[in-house]
Amino acid sequence: MSVPNPRLYDIARSILDWYFSTFYDYTVSGLENVPKQGPVVFAANHVSFYDPPVIGSKISRRINYFARDTLFRGLFGQALVQIGTIPVSPQNAEVKSLKAIFKALKDGGAVAIYPEGTRSPDGLLADPKPGAGMIACKSGAQIIPTRVFGTYEAFGRQRKLPKIGGRIHVSYGRPLATADIDPGKEHPERYLEASRRIMCHIASLHIPESEEV
């Protein structure tokens, strides 16, 4: 299991689900697209600090997330380790973090990644980087395109504190196999093109009409 302390993870998830459901109009769609077992990569747009918890709070599966290595201090840092959070820094992003991702997927776990590589400065979808495509092509895991709405307005990178209230929605797309996004080894920009294809699927996701206000 890729989460050292599943019980703590479940407690944290329940608290976060309560928080978002209480202080926001928090809804999701496409839960039926999330595989109940086997290696899974949630590939999502990234606009806010809120993105990781809103992606996973209503999913029964436990997900490995990323966090800056500077957060891994004291009791909070210990808690991050226990719930399976993967530390990221400029020095180890291409080595330790990738090893942790592939190990989690090899163990049949789930990870959340962001093809854009960083939070959007304006809430719009940005051009992807090749990292997500490389993970998708090499791992063979199912890819779940995931699009988050409303978290930029609630806690975008321009905000020092979150804004309470408003709509937050997460849309999970149909699972993608490696063949759906991998252009092949002969492609000159194989991994970048795979990331582009993933982003196209993310861009196609919308809030269902039945959920729109």
> How does the average pLDDT of the chain come out, rounded?
93
Flag whether 208 is in a domain: no
Give strand ranges (E) for the chain.
25-29, 40-44, 63-64, 66-68, 86-88, 110-113, 142-149, 167-172
**Model confidence pLDDT, tens digit, residues 169-198:** 999 999 999 999 999 999 999 999 999 999
Flag whether 212 is in a domain: no
Percent of the chain with pLDDT over 90: 85
Give the pLDDT band of residue 136 (cuts 50, 70, 90): very high
Distance in angstroms (rounded) separating the CA atoms of residues 96 and 88: 8
Give strand ranges (E) for 46-137.
63-64, 66-68, 86-88, 110-113
Cα–Cα distance list, 197 to 11, 72, 177, 189 (Å) = 35, 33, 12, 12
Residue 108's CB is within 10 A of a number of other CB atoms, namely 13
pTM of the model: 0.94
Q: Residue 17 maps to which CATH number? A: 3.40.1130.10
Domains in the chain, number = 1
Beta-bridge mates of residue 41 = 111, 143
Flag whether 39 is in a domain: yes
**At residue 147, what is the residue type?**
R
Flag whether 53 is in a domain: yes
Q: Is 151 helix (H, G, I), strand (E, B) or coil?
A: helix
Flag whether 29 is in a domain: yes
Phi first, then psi: what are they for 212, rounded to 5°? -70, 145
**Model confidence pLDDT, tens digit, residues 32-65:** 999 999 999 999 999 999 999 999 999 999 999 9
> How do strand 167-172 and strand 142-149 relate by DSSP bridges?
antiparallel
Domain that holds residue 101: 6-203
